[in-house]
Amino acid sequence: MSEVKRVVLAYSGGLDTSVILKWLQDMYQCEVVTFTADIGQGEELEPAREKAIKLGIKPSQIYIEDLREEFVRDFVFPMFRANTIYEGEYLLGTSIARPLIAKRLIEIAAETGGDAIAHGATGKGNDQVRFEMGAYALNPDIRIIAPWREWDLLSREKLLAYAESHGIPVEMKHKSGGSPYSMDANLLHISYEGRVLEDPGREAEDDMWRWTVAPEAAPNEPEYLEIEFERGDAVSVNGLRMGAAELLAKLNEMAGKHGVGRLDMVENRYVGMKSRGCYETPGGTILLKAHRAMESITLDREVGHLKDDLMPRYASLIYNGYWWSPERIALQTLIDHTQQNVNGWVRLKLYKGSVSVVGRDSKTDSLFDPAIATFEDDAGAYDQKDAGGFIKLNALRMRIAAKLEAAKLDKRRK
């Protein structure tokens, strides 16, 4: 193990990665560079710096970076241009953060002369795949250390014992006793796993949710908002133009107040098992609804249907860790091409856990023609007689098949 001289660790400052930091120093006898990404998890990150220093990391080898704008602009927004959801429900909040972290791990390794990277993902989860697939795509020769696949510290109790024996400060336990939820947070979502959620038949605890009020406790009056889109990306809320990260944070605040964005699902992990998780994606839930509404008025029918056909494949690529793959990049090129005319505004209503579209318009790119769509006199804009031939031509193959079946039936009767 001594051949590793310097490793860049994806470091949160929590129990797992703090133990990993010390374990890397002991087992590999190497220097450790820590990388902590601020992608909107809403936690103070300076304690991670202080803890790393206490564990012997030089200040010059501690990287704490604000990546919120890049995260939303270059990862979340491109994903939402495709209206991406996994298995019909999941908005991929954890999945979409991993390629950015992998990218920075590789870049920092190059900057610091690191010959390996390390992460705290377990051998049971999807994140190990996402981190490592991204890393290999960006540096095929990088060495990756995944402690959960090497050590014997396979329970929280063993981790706590290791931390105590090595003088590593640890966070407090869950207030109701036992381990806290396994959580992942960023500007797009919070995920929860573990504890009572390991029984898919049990309801999540009320005090688990952090961003959203219970729908029944939400305000009794609805709230309206307008989102403006340019080339498929949201650029303003209620007429106020803002950056990508600020805009998503604003939508999180508005949606959370009305109980919008909760999800409880059992999903299929890439490694083969089923897993029950709960998610809060308040702003993303609004964004998906608004983007589809914007496309409904500006996108050609067949282009929209093609996007819907491709979306599950695109979602699986992100979920399974293939963000940096040539096929995802090729699909993104197609998706982005479809967004050139997705410009305009959408009005939505938030109420008691729901988000509804109540209006949409595009001054420059609307394909909705009221002169044709009207139920009143259209002054000849649409000749209804044309529909007869249209229907007959489209029914031709079914008419031929029906005649053949009728002939077969007559023959059997004779």
Q: Is 270 in contact with 319 (CB distance < 8 Å)?
A: yes
Q: Is 182 a catalytic residue?
A: yes
- Domain 6-72+92-165 fold is Rossmann fold (3.40.50)
Torsion of CA 110, 112, 117, 119, to 10 degrees: -120
pLDDT, one tens digit per residue, over 358-373 is 999 999 999 999 999 9
Task: Establish whether 155 is a catalytic residue.
Answer: no
**CA dist., res. 33 & res. 20, Å (int):** 12
Separation of alpha carbons 22 and 55, rounded Å: 7
Judged by DSSP in three states, 152 sits in coil
What per-residue confidence (pLDDT) applies to 171? 64
Residue 223 forms beta bridges with which residues? 350
Measured between alpha carbons, how far is residue 112 from residues 23, 65, 150, 217 in Å?
20, 15, 25, 51
Identify residue 384 by its one-letter amino acid code: Q
3-class state of residue 371 by DSSP: helix
Known catalytic residue at 365: no
On whether the CB atoms of residues 260 and 212 are closer than 8 A, the answer is: yes
- The catalytic residue among 16, 49, 81, 191 is 16
Q: What is the mean pLDDT of residues 4-29?
A: 94
Condensed to tens digits (0 to 9), the pLDDT of residues 231-278 reads: 999 999 999 999 999 999 999 999 999 999 999 999 999 999 999 999
pLDDT digits (tens, 9 = 90+) for 46-80: 889 999 999 999 999 999 999 999 999 999 999 99
The token pair at 155 is: 């329970």
**Contact between residue 112 and residue 33 where contact means Cβ atoms under 8 Å apart:** yes
DSSP, residue by residue, 157-225? HHHHHHHHHTT---PPPPTTSSPPPEEEE-SS-EEEESGGGGSTTSPPPGGG-SS---GGGS-SS-EEE
pLDDT at 179 over 80: no
pLDDT at residue 346 in the model: 98
Which pLDDT tens digit goes with each residue over 149-171? 999 998 878 999 999 999 898 76
Catalytic residue chosen out of the listed positions 81, 98, 104, 130:
98
- Average pLDDT of span 176-187: 75
Q: Is 16 a known active-site residue?
A: yes
Active-site residue (options: 6, 179, 182, 269) = 182
Kindly state the percentage of the chain with pLDDT values over 90: 90
Query: Which one from 12, 127, 191, 262 is the annotated catalytic residue?
Result: 127
User: What are φ and ψ of residue 280, in 5° steps?
Assistant: -115, 115
pLDDT digits (tens, 9 = 90+) for 98-132: 999 999 999 999 999 999 999 999 999 999 999 99
Whole-angstrom CA distances from 294 to 97, 242, 247, 405 are: 25, 19, 17, 45
Q: How many residues does the chain have?
A: 414
Looking at domain 183-299+341-361, its CATH class is alpha beta
